[in-house]
């Protein structure tokens, strides 16, 4: 083989060998980079060593406890007593009696209320009232209305009935009075000793 050809052949072989070495080196570098990328992708952020602080539970303020004052139906005044019918300790008594002289009887119960107040309302005995609605005098006589009032401030106690002399005066407004119930406002009630009863609005049903 001519010397020139031998020299070119050696040169080509050397160049081929060097190129192979470079390609191998490049190939190794790419493989290393891919492995690094894969490793980086696999890395995740670890959870914190400490848990977050607990959230305080919502607190509520309890409403203050209140105790209602007892309502007393019977209160003294400068001239007598004020009576709140709606605050009686028990249901009052109401009855309607038929017969020759039908009458209505409404009264408190001394055993539970501690005092006695009543209206006896005769529809025939008195000439000025026969059972109709409206405003009428309190008068326990045949010449008056036949509407009689009785009051004992201590009920079963030693004090007597202030209306026992049948001299109580005043007036009532009758809004309802029948077998179903009653609605009567005591406008004024004065007994013979000067004791006055105020604030009485009698309301009840059978």
Q: Which pLDDT tens digit goes with each residue over 92-126?
A: 999 999 889 999 999 999 999 999 999 999 999 99
- Asked if residue 112 is part of any domain, the answer here is yes
pLDDT at 32 over 90: no
Distance CA 120, CA 66 (A): 41
140 and 78 within one domain: yes
Q: Does pTM surpass 0.85?
A: no
Q: Is residue 171 located within the same domain as residue 106?
A: yes
- C-alpha to C-alpha distances, 70 to 25, 74, 83, 89, 105, nearest whole angstrom: 104, 12, 15, 11, 28
pLDDT in tens, 153-201: 999 889 999 999 999 999 999 999 998 999 999 999 999 999 999 999 9
- Answer for the pair 74, 113: CB distance below 8 angstroms, yes or no: yes
Pick the closest to residue 117 from 195, 206, 194 (CA basis): 195
pLDDT at 8: 40
- 3-state SS, residue 184: strand
Helices and strands in the chain, H and E counts: 2, 11
In this predicted structure, the answer to whether residue 57 has a pLDDT above a threshold of 90 is no
Q: pLDDT band at 38, cuts 50/70/90?
A: very low
| Residues sharing a CB contact under 8 Å with residue 54, sequence separation 6 or more, in sequence order | none
Instruction: Clarify whether residues 5 and 96 are in a common domain.
Output: no
Shared domain for 106 and 177, answered yes or no, is yes
Dihedral (Cα; 118, 140, 163, 180), 10-degree rounding: 0
Highest mean pLDDT among 4-8, 42-46, 65-69, 91-95: 91-95
Same domain, 22 and 96: no
Rounded to whole angstroms, how far apart are CA atoms 155 and 97?
A: 24
Asked whether residue 67 is domain-assigned, the answer is no
With cut-offs at 50, 70 and 90, classify the pLDDT of residue 9.
Answer: very low
pLDDT score for 16: 39
Q: What is the pLDDT of residue 63?
A: 54
Report yes or no on 42 lying in a domain.
Answer: no
82 shares its domain with 140: yes
Residue 29 lies in a domain: yes
Structural domain that includes position 22: 1-36
Q: Is 81 exposed, middle or buried (0-12, 13-18, 19+ CB in 10 A)?
A: buried
User: How many domains does the chain fold into?
Assistant: 2
Q: Say whether both 12 and 113 belong to one domain.
A: no
Two structure tokens written together for 82: 């004020």
User: Mean pLDDT across the chain, nearest whole number?
Assistant: 79
Q: Is the dihedral of CA 113, 163, 192, 126 positive or negative?
A: positive
Residue 62: pLDDT band by 50, 70, 90 thresholds? low
| pLDDT score at 99 | 86
Q: Alpha-carbon distance 60 to 173, whole Å?
A: 53
Alpha helices (H) along the chain: 3-42, 110-113
CB-based burial label for 40 (10 Å; 0-12, 13-18, 19+): exposed
């Amino acid at each position: 083989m001519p010397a020139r050809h031998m020299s070119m052949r050696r040169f080509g072989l050397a160049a081929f060998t060097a190129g192979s070495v470079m390609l191998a080196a490049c190939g190794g570098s790419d493989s290393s980079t891919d492995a690094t990328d894969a490793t980086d992708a696999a890395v995740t952020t670890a959870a914190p060593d400490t848990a977050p602080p607990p959230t305080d539970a919502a607190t509520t303020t309890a409403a203050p406890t209140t105790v209602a004052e007892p309502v007393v139906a019977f209160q003294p005044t400068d001239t007598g007593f004020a009576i709140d019918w709606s605050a009686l300790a028990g249901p009052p008594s109401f009855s309607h009696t038929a017969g020759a002289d039908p009458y209505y009887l409404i009264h408190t119960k001394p055993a539970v209320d501690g005092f006695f107040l009543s209206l006896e309302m005769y529809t025939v005995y008195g000439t000025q009232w026969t059972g109709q609605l409206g405003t009428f005098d309190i008068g326990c006589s045949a010449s008056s209305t036949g509407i009689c009032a009785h009051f004992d401030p201590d009920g079963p106690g030693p004090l007597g009935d202030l209306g026992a002399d049948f001299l109580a005066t005043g007036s009532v407004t009758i809004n309802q009075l029948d077998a179903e119930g009653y609605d009567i406002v005591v406008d004024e009630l004065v007994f013979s000793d000067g004791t006055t009863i105020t604030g009485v609005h009698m309301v009840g049903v059978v």
